[in-house]
Every structure is written in structure tokens, then in C-alpha cells.
Amino acid sequence: MSKLKALVCGASQGIGEAVAKNLASAGVQVIALARSQDKLERLISGLPGEGHKAIVQDVGDLPGLKTQVHRLITDVGPVQILVNNSGGPKAGPLLEAEDAEFLKGFSEHVLVSHNLAKLLVPGMKAQNFGRIINIISTSVKVPIPNLGVSNTIRAAMGSWAKTLSQELAPYGITVNNVLPGYTLTPRFEALRKATSERLKISEAEVEKLWKAQTPSGRFCTPEEVASAIGFLASGSAESITGINLPVDGGRTQTL
């Protein structure tokens, strides 16, 4: 097999950026996808190794995304690792959500992941090796208050991934979900602010509350989440498929 290639979505910041760096450090050729050209160019220029590429694309434009990725496959050949990662739906109570919020969330998470898999899986099957890793949320196990739309969409992603893992296992392709807890990303900052406004307490008090809910007493870093993804993307994880892996300092109160 030639050098492994990975398509990393949402790679311009946060966990996606950390994943791109982790995989590049492991010798993988990274194709980083996000909306911000400036951020992607800075990322690509700093990655170790050669052959890394950037795709400037908004996942909200599904036809445009499919065109870009089809062109990528034509140019570079099979891509063996797919990291599905997209910003979560906005916070808010479930019954206050409009239909459009559900449709947007479903499209940008489930449909984007599904269509990327349809494009990349044939190349994975041809090489009898593939890794599909979805960065979703611990809400797959325990719904998170005030994230009604996100809880709904993340659960759909979890079921999509479990079903796909069973269909693709005979072809050497694994499908797994990584569930970040409180992780120091721009999403964390947005949720901290929203929680502060909803509870009418300071952001410092929100952090204190969240740490009290986390047995480790600390927040995760994007690099820690990326390390888990790097392992699942490796050949060492050949027999791990169809799982939800929390990286959350022990916060999730389920087995």
C-alpha cells in the first residue's frame, strides 16, 4: 500500500487542527478541509512531511463538497482515513428549535459524513484498509442539557456509524466515534458563554461548575482527543470498530 492519506474535516482549528498535526507526525499525507483558506494555508505550511493539501470548502454546500472530494480522489488516488468533524448545532432548549436547525444539523453531520464515505469507501475496499472516525459528543451516551438539536443529531450520527461499521468490517474498514468532553476549543468558548448567559453566572463560575462534573478536575486539550483519533486510525486498531470512545476526563456517567 502506498503512503496513507487522510481527509480531515474541520481542520482549521480546534480538534480538527490537532488531528491533522497528529496524523502528519505519524507519516500520513493530510488533506485538510475547512472554510478558512488563511488558516488552512498556515496549517499546511507547518505540517511535517510532504504532499499535504488544503480544500477550502463549506460543508453546508454539499454539492460543492462532493465535487471537491471527487476531484481530490482523481488527483491523489484512494484516501484511506476519513475524519468527520463539524461544528455542532447551536445551543438551546429542544422545543425552541426551528425545523431549519434540525435540517441544517442533519445535513452538515449525517449527510456530509454519509456522502464522504460513499466517495472514499470504494478506494478503501480496493486496498482492504480504511478508517472512518467521527468526532461527535458524549451526548451520544448521556444527553447534555440545553443542547437539544445537537443531542438529536449526534445520536443519529452514532447510529449511522454503528450500522456502517457492521457493513464495512469484512473489508478491513473500521468505523468509530470519538466523544470529546469539555475540550479547550472555540466550541468550548461558545458553550461557556451561552451557559453563562443562561444560568446568569460568570464564565469563571461556569468553568468551576464543569470541572466539578469531571472526575479528573480538568478540561481536555485538543491534542489529547487527537491522540485517541491517531490510535484508531492506525493499524494497531484493526479489531476496534463500532465503538464510542469518550475522551472526557471521566465525566460520562455510563459504562
Residue 1 has pLDDT above 70, yes or no: no
Q: List the grid coordinates of 230.
A: 491517531
CA distance 21 to 158: 25
Region 124-148 average pLDDT: 96
* Residue of 89, 87, 40, 252 lying closest to 186 (CA atoms): 87
Region 176-191 average pLDDT: 94
Residue 98 has pLDDT above 90, yes or no: yes
What confidence score (pLDDT) does residue 147 get? 93
Q: At 202, phi and psi to the nearest 5?
A: -75, 160
3-class SS of residue 53: strand
What confidence score (pLDDT) does residue 163 get? 98
Domains located in the chain, CATH noted: 5-181+221-247 (3.40.50.720)
CA distance 149 to 151: 5
What confidence score (pLDDT) does residue 79 get? 98
Residue 110 has pLDDT above 90, yes or no: yes
* Residue of 94, 188, 97, 103 lying closest to 137 (CA atoms): 188
Whether residue 1 contacts residue 81, with contact meaning beta carbons closer than 8 Å, is answered with no
Q: Residue 90: which pLDDT band, with cuts at 50, 70 and 90?
A: confident
Q: Residue 161: which pLDDT band, with cuts at 50, 70 and 90?
A: very high
**Average pLDDT of the chain to the nearest whole number:** 96
pLDDT in tens, 4-60: 999 999 999 999 999 999 999 999 999 999 999 999 999 999 999 999 999 999 999
What confidence score (pLDDT) does residue 2 get? 66
